[in-house]
Amino acid sequence: MIPGPKSKLLARRLAQSECAEVTHLGREFPVFWTKARGCQVWDADGNRYVDMTAAFAVANLGHCHPALVRSVGRQAGRLMHGMGDVHPPAIKVKFLSALRSYLPRPLGHAILSQNGSDAVESAIKTALMARRNRPGIVAFTGSYHGLSFGALSVTGQRYFRNPFLSRLSKNTLFVDYPNCYRCPLKLTYPACQLACLTEARKRIQKAGGGKRFCAVIVEPIQGRGGEVVPPPGWLKELSRICRRDGLLLIADEIYTGFGRTGRRLACDHEGVVPDILCLGKGLTGGFPMSVCVGRPAVMGRWGRSKGEALHTSTHLGNPLGCAVGLTALSIYNRLRPERRAAGLGAYLLRRLRASLGGLASVGDIRGKGLMVGIDLVKDIVTRVPDSAAAQRVVRGSLKRGLIILSGGEGGNVLSLSPPLVITRREIDFCVDVLEDVLNTLEKNHGRI
């Protein structure tokens, strides 16, 4: 496939009217979506693609799931907008009740919002309310929690942080995330005995410990950081450290929630229930909606309103979002797509390792459930990230009808997070395309 004339025209018109930065892919290979169904996407020129991104891990239930589409239409005909915390839509109560039933029992009180950054902002504020006079938060290298200023202050990726450092909080301590493929301590699991956590705790204690820090915010599996899966036991031990030192544990599961990793929540793999949980993306399968939910004792520290809400927004508990979320939760409960994600994710990993594992440019293939990363390197011995190769593979795959993204701090990880309704046939297509593109890349010395 090549960029079609309609997409090229739309790209020129967009460049004339949009002030926001457009990624290189949008400039060099513009593709404008016009419709989607399941794992298939069509562009303005009628080209069809297999989507291995679920549109940033949102369409867990597949694009345009018929039940979700119907729920939007029904609710739009009744009530499209409510008055948030003043005169809430009645469906908000039903949605929150369903959400509470879906989550681990201690998690009950919620703050609704529109996107992942909003949910993280709510979590940070909640932690500060619950642990007053402790302004510090511990976060991790390579993390991604959003780009609004509060969320950006705990985002570890320097690319996003550096232009705005002058406005970011100085009360964030970044400690190493356990990337076993590129261990910062040059150790090997399990012989390391989770030394990264030992070092992290030492740094936290040295910087003030529980007297200065109110919370630790963590992705159970890093998404935009490159599908980095911590070793077994790491998250559970982190939870123990937080309890021991009086720190709240904030789990950012905006990417990993709702079956993505083969369990309802990624925390479930370790039997961990955080104090505060951030959810979004798959929550509604497409409608802008997110939530910060926590233990009642923590969330209750907000107290009662004194006439004006201390934390609110215009579209708080939007009735359309609540309706779609209510339907999505019923589907998650009935179909248990996490089981499908676990089985198909294992199949995807087996196929990738069998087809790509011997290539010189492939350093590591990792993941959990339908959240998989292919770490491209310039040399498998030095493990130097190869971002240029990743970008070429993304473009080469697009030409062959496959939509993937690159991620990781080095921009070198091919990120696969397809809808959970993907079929083996679509997985086979994905693996065949990647094998073809990577083989072509190596034979032609970096050209596709």
pLDDT band per the 50, 70, 90 thresholds, residue 245: very high
For the record, the structure tokens of 423 come out as 């079929």
Cα 7 from chain centroid?
28
Of 67-71, 276-280, 439-443, where does mean pLDDT reach its minimum? 439-443
Q: How large is the average pLDDT for residues 180-208? A: 96
Which whole number is the average pLDDT over 76-101? Answer: 96
Q: What's the one-letter identity of residue 301?
A: R
Mean pLDDT of 283-292: 97
Any idea what DSSP says for residue 432?
H
Local confidence band at 446 (pLDDT 50, 70, 90 cut-offs): low
| pLDDT tens for each residue of 157-171 | 999 999 999 999 999
Reported residue count of the chain is 448
Residue 444 clears pLDDT 90, i.e. is over it:
no
Do the beta carbons of residue 98 and residue 330 sit within 8 Å? yes
pLDDT of residue 118: 98
Q: Which domains does the chain have, with CATH numbers?
A: 5-64+336-443 (3.90.1150.10), 66-335 (3.40.640.10)
**Mean of all residue pLDDT scores within the chain:** 95
Distance CA 114, CA 284 (A): 11
pLDDT at 11 over 70: yes
pLDDT at res. 387: 97
345 Cα distance to chain centroid: 17
Quote the distance between the C-alpha of residue 193 and its chain's center.
28
Query: pLDDT tens for residues 266-281?
Result: 999 999 999 999 999 9
Looking up tokens 């599908």 gives 227
φ, ψ for residue 311, nearest 5 deg: -145, 110
- The total of other beta-carbon atoms located within 10 Å of residue 162's CB is 9
Helix (H) or strand (E) holding 313: none
Burial (0-12, 13-18, 19+ Cβ within 10 Å), 193: exposed
At residue 321, does pLDDT exceed 70?
A: yes
123, pLDDT greater than 90: yes
Q: What's the rounded mean pLDDT across residues 316-344?
A: 97
Q: What is the mean pLDDT of residues 420-436?
A: 98
pLDDT of residue 66: 98
What is the average pLDDT across 236-256?
98
Q: Is pLDDT above 80 for 24?
A: no
What's the helix, strand, coil split of the chain in %, to 5? 40, 15, 40
CA dihedral 318, 258, 337, 340 (to 10 degrees): 150
The CA distance from 125 to 144, in Å, is 18
With H, G, I as helix, E, B as strand and everything else as coil, classify residue 131. Answer: coil
| CB distance 157 to 143 below 8 Å | yes
Query: Coil, helix or strand for 67?
Result: helix
Quick: pLDDT tens for 341-391: 999 999 999 999 999 999 999 999 999 999 999 999 999 999 999 999 999
Q: What is the pLDDT of residue 94?
A: 97
Cβ within 8 Å of residue 59, ≥6 positions away: 36, 51, 282, 285, 286, 419
CA separation for the pair 405, 414 (Å, rounded): 6
pLDDT tens per residue, range 225-235: 999 999 999 99
Looking at 223-336, list the stretches that DSSP marks H as alpha helix, in order from N- to C-terminal side: 234-245, 296-299, 319-335
